[in-house]
Structure 1
């Protein structure tokens, strides 16, 4: 003979299985959709209710039936509260619900759950708050095999919970109606569906309040499970399955900028096609790959991104430097006062802008003919070096030199020959001077060099070598040989600095003119460093 309790239990187990699959799906989604996790909890509560009510129906032993009823009440008292919170989220997706508000809403359901756990038939007053007593009844039919059910006598806490449910469902119905009034298109349709469901739920709870006894067969798990399925599709049908995910995916995949998605530890989750092209060696990225590893950077790139939300990086691609500005977007999920973050890093190619900036910066800092510093940039670097030398009690040397009779070169050989001489001379001198010094074109055919923390004897020898090297170098332009010499003036100190930078430059310039006045092609030193 057919057992109807078996049919009911199997159907509820099937429903619960689908609900549990839905829970797993909702909690493993990467999208930060409003109400997603809240809906997952609601569906989970319905799954627990359906599964353990099925176990309650299928079992024939009183003790086990009572146990399964207790387990059901891990979920049943919270269903209307969760439904209400979902309506709040739908009504205002930007609103953050405070923890104190959660505590207030879950207080009555929590007391209901505790009172159910404490239930003992005909026990003390605190054990009969939810149910006062129960009776095991065997149902028998003519064409179907009988089964055992438990009929509960409802207690005070049951009616308090029912009243609370009616009040919360009334607010929920109003929220869905308000959402329906202010929404358009798809949102208006789904708000109307949820409004109708809330209204039906209100009616179901009203019928439960009328009776003093529980029903032999409770149809509520079917209705609440139906609510869960309808909620799931009404709220997230387009967001999770149709237009919105396809739009997001299309924007992500077809973006002209490389995009990398990471979890809260900056571990790679996904990347679009442009990112795979950029990080050519990471088309199949290993598990646990970090953003810093992906960029091949030893810099604390993640710390910089968290601090400033953007960071410039340089990548070596096909032997050339490519510059990218990395912008960090925080994918924050607020739930129960906790924030779980994921991250989206967007790589903007700024190579052209960076190269143009470098070019402009070089133009502002370097002499275009000789490729050494210009006068303005010399003063900037020299001032910084001078101040540091004062702090560290180091000495310095300032060298001023000028090409002898350079005007004659321009007049006889032409300005192109003069440019060649300046360029060639700068190359020769740069190779002789220490790279720690600052070498610049001071103006016209006059040049300056400054270095701190020097060995006076060595620098004097170097300057004399340069003077001799220029005089002996064969300057040839358009097959025409030119004789080029230079006069040098050197100032400075063997010990700590005691004068201003401008004073040392003027003293070196004075020595330069002394060298020129005494026959040129020679070096004059101030008394301090002789």
Structure 2
């Protein structure tokens, strides 16, 4: 019996050590753990309870037993509401300050009842060593308040277990192990307490500390292996998964601790095994690149894109999560799919910058960009030339073959010219069947060479239609900026236009150069 008692005292002491370890561990990481105060107080209460009961079992006199029993009841009653508060905090169930205070009324009265039991016997009717038995075997008969406290204790345990079970379906599979751990942690002292009240356990032996020992071991395993209470689901409500926007939940160390179903659809390769890794690690694995924004201030909005089945664009909004005391609890990254909006925006920009038929720059963009290029050429003192050309007899094409064929001619001319022009060349539809080129770093004679090359290519490459081949020719006018401050883009275009009409009057399908002496050369 003595050896069995020694083993039991050792196990109860081990429970105290476990809980002391948990208390210190959580205290050192309190900034990372939501609701850390409740957990620290809970484990401290269990530590006092365990060591108090161990010393009570080792005592030889009734006076020592009562002293350690009184110390034991500092921790044991407090652990009951504190355990319930941990569950409420885990499930994000808020209760009022008055309700919180009310939870501790019965434990406080219980300790007072134990401390003054010799005067009223309301907690213990009998509390003494059994006659003829080992001095460590207590004879205890419960008083009225003992029954009240037992009912209160079981109600708290039952409430905690019920709340945890009620969230089982709403909890993501990746967090059900945490939930199961908490359920077992609440069930074990509840079951052992019930066995004790039913008299199933050996006389004078309270098995509840053993239940607490099991729960403590479970908590230690959960914390070290599943990061429970460090990696916790901050948002677990059903609405979290029903949101259209994707949400990533990060802890203060930028580790992923939760995400909703929308993000899972946006990033199919994201999976629960990535929870606990840093955002950079997760992003590198799912996209091949680290997260592009090292630091996102609270309320900031950024844009990112990645290639899934097609290129997708997302707006990223950052929001800081804080505890009630103002300390940072983590952050939310909300991902909003703006791919369609981006497409419409690009379409509007294209319409504003480009000609709808030929998809080269329109007149407005040509003028804006050419003015900047002309100003730069003046400052850097390099030549700047403009080439203006017009499709010959284009009206006849529209009148005899229809506007659809006319449109095809315009597109054909643009495609023919593009083959000979670099991507950097500013090429635009100036209006109707008229087109224009801006050529910085190009002299008048060099502009003539480019214009001739385009003219010959058009003539040599007819447009094939179901009505036959259409030979397309064009007349060109080339003008070079003089370098004077009064020589504006409008003046330069007017000169090119004069040269163009000289080509028209001279028989079309030719290039004319504008010179300052108002003499023209043709080819």
In the superposition, the TM-score normalised over structure 1's length comes to 0.59
What is the match of residue 312 of structure 1? 303
Give the corresponding residue for 1:413: 401
Q: How many residues align?
A: 405
Question: Conserved in 1, the CA contact under 8 Å of 2:360 and 2:429?
Answer: yes
Matched, 1:139 2:61: yes
Does structure 1 residue 501 correspond to structure 2 residue 489? yes
Matches within 5 A, 1:156-235: 191-192=98-99, 194-195=101-102, 197-198=104-105, 201=108
CA distance in structure 1 between the partners assigned to 2:376 and 2:157 by the alignment: 69
Aligned-partner SS, 2:356: coil
Measured after TM superposition, the shift of residue 375 of structure 1 is 1.4
Distance in 1, Cα, partners of 2:51 & 2:450: 94
Aligned-partner Cα distance in 2 for 1:234–1:36 = 21
Decide whether aligned partners of structure 1 residues 25 and 236 sit closer, same or farther in structure 2, where only a CA change above 3 A counts. farther
1:418-460 Cα shifts (integer Å, max 9, x gaps): 2121111111112222211211111111111113334665443
SS in structure 2 at match of 1:301 = coil
Tell me which residue corresponds to 2:37.
38
The answer for the alignment partner of 1:373 in structure 2 is: 361
Q: Distance in 2 between matches of 1:446 and 1:262?
A: 58
Shift of 1:196: 6.0
Corresponding position of 1:127:
none
Instruction: Quote the residue 2:348 is aligned against.
Output: 360
The separation in 1 between residues aligned to 2:23 and 2:158, in whole angstroms, is: 16
Please, which runs of 5 or more residues in structure 1 have no aligned partner? 61-137, 151-185, 210-216
Inter-partner Cα distance in structure 2 for 1:380 and 1:399: 16
Partner Cα distance (2:488, 2:394) in 1: 31
Partner of 1:422: 410
Cα distance in 2 between the residues matched to 1:231 and 1:454: 91
Q: Give the drift of 1:515.
A: 2.4
Alignment of 1:323 onto 2:313: yes
- 1:321 Cα deviation from its structure 2 partner: 1.8
Q: Over residues 230-285 of structure 1, what are the superposed CA-to-partner deviations in whole Å (9 max), with x where a residue is unaligned?
A: 99979988887645993825334454444333333444334444434433344475
- 8 Å contact kept, 2:477–2:499: yes
- Match of 2:414, SS state, is helix
Q: Structure 1: which 4+ aligned runs deviate by more than 6 Å? A: 5-12, 24-33, 146-150, 186-190, 205-209, 228-241, 494-498
Residue-by-residue CA offset, 1:500-522 (whole Å, 9 max, x unaligned): 33332222223222322333222
Q: How does 1:37-186 map to 2 (within 5 A)?
A: 37-51=36-50, 53=52, 139=61
Displacement after TM superposition at 1:54 (Å): 5.2
Give the Cα–Cα distance (whole angstroms) in 2 for the partners of residues 380 and 325 of structure 1. 31
Structure 2 residue corresponding to 1:481, chosen from 460, 469, 472: 469
> Kindly tell me: are residues 245 and 302 of structure 1, through their superposed partners in 2, closer, same or farther at Cα, counting changes over 3 Å?
farther
Q: CA deviation at 1:42?
A: 2.4
Query: Are the structure 2 counterparts of residues 263 and 203 from structure 1 closer, same or farther at C-alpha, using a change threshold of 3 Å?
Result: closer
Equivalent-residue separation in structure 2 for 1:392 and 1:238 (angstroms):
80
Q: Distance in 2 between matches of 1:193 and 1:305?
A: 37
CA distance in 1, matches of 2:156, 2:441: 75
- Going from structure 1 to structure 2, the CA distance change for 1:439 and 1:236 (only over 3 Å counts) comes to farther
What's the TM-score once normalised by structure 2's chain length? 0.60
Spell out, residue by residue over 1:66-116, the C-alpha distance to the aligned partner (whole angstroms, 9 max, x if none): xxxxxxxxxxxxxxxxxxxxxxxxxxxxxxxxxxxxxxxxxxxxxxxxxxx
Equivalent pair of 1:238/1:244 in contact (CA under 8 Å): no
Residue 511 of structure 1, aligned match among 499, 509, 513: 499
Structure 1 residue matching 2:390: 3-state secondary structure: strand
CA contact 1:266–1:290 (8 Å) conserved in 2: no
Contact 2:448 2:511 in 1 (8 A): no
CA distance in 1, matches of 2:317, 2:94: 33
Indicate whether 1:246 and 2:190 are aligned: no
Question: Structure 1 residue 482: deviation in Å?
Answer: 3.1
Q: Secondary structure at the match of 2:351?
A: helix
Shift of 1:415: 2.0
User: Does structure 1 retain, via aligned residues, the 8 Å contact 2:20–2:44?
Assistant: no
Shift of 1:498: 7.2
The separation in 2 between residues aligned to 1:306 and 1:383, in whole angstroms, is 40
Q: Is the contact made by 1:439 and 1:450 (CA closer than 8 Å) also made in structure 2?
A: yes
Distance 1:249 1:12 in 2: 38
In 1, distance between residues paired with 2:25 and 2:463? 80
2:439 alignment partner in structure 1: 451
* Separation (CA, whole Å) in 1 of partners of 2:337 and 2:427: 35
Query: What secondary structure does 1:372 align onto?
Result: coil
Tell me, yes or no, if the aligned pair for 1:190 and 1:235 is still in contact at 8 Å: no
Spell out, residue by residue over 1:348-381, the C-alpha distance to the aligned partner (whole angstroms, 9 max, x if none): 3222222222223222322222121221232333
Alpha-carbon distance in structure 2 between the residues aligned to 1:333 and 1:476: 73
Change (3 A) 1:238 1:328: farther
Whether the 8 Å CA contact 1:406–1:445 is kept in 2: the answer is yes
Query: Paired residue for 1:259, among 247, 252, 263?
Result: 247
Cα distance in 2 for partners of 1:206, 1:20 equals 27
